[in-house]
Amino acid sequence: MASAETPAVPEAEAEAVVESTPPPPTEVEPPPETKTAGDSPSIDYLGLGEVVLRFLLFASAVVAVVVIVTSEQTKNSRPAKFNYSPALIYFVAAVSVLGLYSIITTLFSFYALILKPGFFPQVLSHFIIVDVLLLGIVSAATGSAGAIAYTGLKGNSHLGWGKVCAVYGKFCRYVGASVAVSLFASVVLAFLVLLSVYSLSKKIPK
Amino acid sequence: MESQYKSSGNGGMEVGERERGVAVANKRNMRGCDVVLRFFALALTLTAAVVLGVDKETKTVPVTLVPTLPPVNVPLTSKWHYLSAFVFLVVANAIACGYAAISLLLTLANMNGKKGITMIIIFFDLVMVALLFSGVGAAAAIGIMGYQGNSHVRWNKVCNVFDKFCAQAAAAVAISGIAAAAFLLLVLLATFNLHKRH
């Protein structure tokens, strides 16, 4: 029938039909589950890196909390504890929340790595939102505790605030160490967010 | 049969074009949101840096040196750079303001969405989030110490004397906090963009 009519019109229509239906993808990358099912040496570096970083985050959060909670010191029957300062209380609360969140997400991403067929893909990509929020909270906590510790170390002659660390040496050392560890935790959290963004940008469409 | 081919062909082409049009419009909306947020962050960080950078107050306080003599009026000055946490906040805001300007220009120039530049911008946005939030935390901690004092370490409260100084500093901290939230929204928007692309 088409050959009997003028060839130009059906050719144009055929072109239109071909253009409207998208051409089938010639090179389809196989989804990761079938690729890695029989292919054991291929390691999912991004997933492994995520589990390692999250565990590192959990470890540093636990260390920071333990160090600052055991930092009590008494001199001349006047104790110095972390709960005498609202900034340090906020610091302990924020880092504890970070520790709890990081152990949960470590387990999630570990299961997602082991049980390869993309068990919790949606949840993992939503973790990045809470990651960035926690980065803000933990950075604020680090800043607060660091400011209080610095003021305790150097004092402030303009305001009449004395150097506390000259008296309470052990307390100041412990608080300083805890702040340093939580600074490391913030850096790890920032790298984790970058890793998540990078792996999100590389994801194969599901 | 020819008419059937014609209608399906035209309908299919229109749907495809409409989808492409919606995708381009979405990308443009997201890009527009990005530019607006960056401009907002630029304005806020500039305001916070200026408000805290001109914070100064002088008050004459009657001080009794000796109980028998009448109290002597001593002028006490309080400037923002007497507190290292406020210095940190001003510097952080200045850095964030400069970065917001540069990244605004970069985003406007990067309309076709090269992935390398986008990842660098996301990285520096994260750095700015951490920097600004830590500045806000530090200044807020020192401010609360100034408002309440701390009897355990014998640090007196200062804000009952320097109330205008403290109020201006609190305003600067609040503005800086909103700017930090704007940078946070920028990071979330960028990840949402990447997620939507798939």
Check A21 against B150: CB less than 8 A apart. no
* pLDDT-wise least confident of A41-50, A104-113, A182-191, B69-78: A41-50
Judged against a pLDDT cut of 70, whether residue A106 lies above it is answered with yes
Q: For B186, which residue in chain A has the nearest alpha carbon?
A: A132
* Best residue in B142, B158, B166, B192 for a mutation probing chain A (most A CBs within 10 Å): B142
Query: Please, what is the angle between helix B84-109 and helix B115-148, to 10°?
Result: 160
* Best residue in B86, B155, B185, B188 for a mutation probing chain A (most A CBs within 10 Å): B155
* pLDDT-wise least confident of A53-62, A109-118, B76-85: A109-118
How many angstroms separate the CA atoms of B61 and B58, rounded?
9
User: Smallest CA–CA separation between B22 and chain A, in Å?
Assistant: 17
Sorting pLDDT into bands at 50, 70 and 90, what band is A144? Answer: very high
Check B134 against A154: CB less than 8 A apart. no
Sorting pLDDT into bands at 50, 70 and 90, what band is A37? Answer: very low
Sorting pLDDT into bands at 50, 70 and 90, what band is A115? Answer: confident
pTM of the full structure: 0.81
Residue-level pLDDT at A54 = 95
Judged against a pLDDT cut of 90, whether residue B101 lies above it is answered with yes
Residue-level pLDDT at A64 = 96
Residue-level pLDDT at A205 = 45
Residue-level pLDDT at A4 = 46
Check B83 against A159: CB less than 8 A apart. yes
Length of chain A: 206
- Average pLDDT value for residue range A97-119: 85
Residue-level pLDDT at A79 = 86
Tell me whether strands B72-79 and B56-63 are parallel, antiparallel or unpaired: antiparallel
- Average pLDDT value for residue range A9-36: 49
Spatial neighbors of B107 by CB under 8 A, at least 6 apart, are B31, B34, B35, B38, B121
What is the DSSP secondary structure assignment for residue A161, as one 8-state letter?
B
Residue-level pLDDT at B150 = 87
Q: What residues pair up with A78 in beta bridges, in sequence order? A: A75
* Best residue in A1, A77, A88, A139 for a mutation probing chain B (most B CBs within 10 Å): A139
Sorting pLDDT into bands at 50, 70 and 90, what band is B16? Answer: low
User: Smallest CA–CA separation between A111 and chain B, in Å?
Assistant: 22
How many angstroms separate the CA atoms of A45 and A61, rounded?
24
Judged against a pLDDT cut of 80, whether residue B5 lies above it is answered with no
Tell me the one-letter amino acid at A68.
I
Please report, rounded to a whole number, the percentage of residues in chain B having pLDDT higher than 90. Answer: 50
- Average pLDDT value for residue range B145-150: 90
Q: In this structure, what are the phi and psi dihedrals at residue B68, rounded to the nearest 5 degrees?
A: -80, -35
Judged against a pLDDT cut of 70, whether residue A194 lies above it is answered with yes
Sorting pLDDT into bands at 50, 70 and 90, what band is B193? Answer: confident
Please report, rounded to a whole number, the percentage of residues in chain A having pLDDT higher than 90. Answer: 46
- Average pLDDT value for residue range A198-206: 68
**Number of CB pairs < 8 Å for A and B?**
168
How many angstroms separate the CA atoms of A70 and A88, rounded?
13
Judged against a pLDDT cut of 60, whether residue A11 lies above it is answered with no
What is the DSSP secondary structure assignment for residue A71, as one 8-state letter?
-
Read off the pLDDT of residues B39-70 as tens digits, 9 standing for 90 and up.
999 999 999 999 999 988 888 888 877 788 88
Could you tell me the maximum CA-CA distance found in chain A, to the nearest angstrom?
Answer: 110
Residue B60 near residue B75 (C-beta atoms within 8 A)? yes
- Average pLDDT value for residue range B32-45: 93
Sorting pLDDT into bands at 50, 70 and 90, what band is B24? Answer: low
Q: Does ipTM come in above 0.95?
A: no
Q: For A182, which residue in chain B has the nearest alpha carbon?
A: B134
Read off the pLDDT of residues B170-182 as tens digits, 9 standing for 90 and up.
999 999 999 999 9
Judged against a pLDDT cut of 90, whether residue A98 lies above it is answered with yes
Residue-level pLDDT at A33 = 46
The H-or-E segment that residue B57 falls in is: strand B56-63
Mean pLDDT of all residues in chain B?
85
- Average pLDDT value for residue range A94-120: 86
* pLDDT-wise least confident of A9-23, A43-57, A174-188, B89-103: A9-23
Residue-level pLDDT at A2 = 45
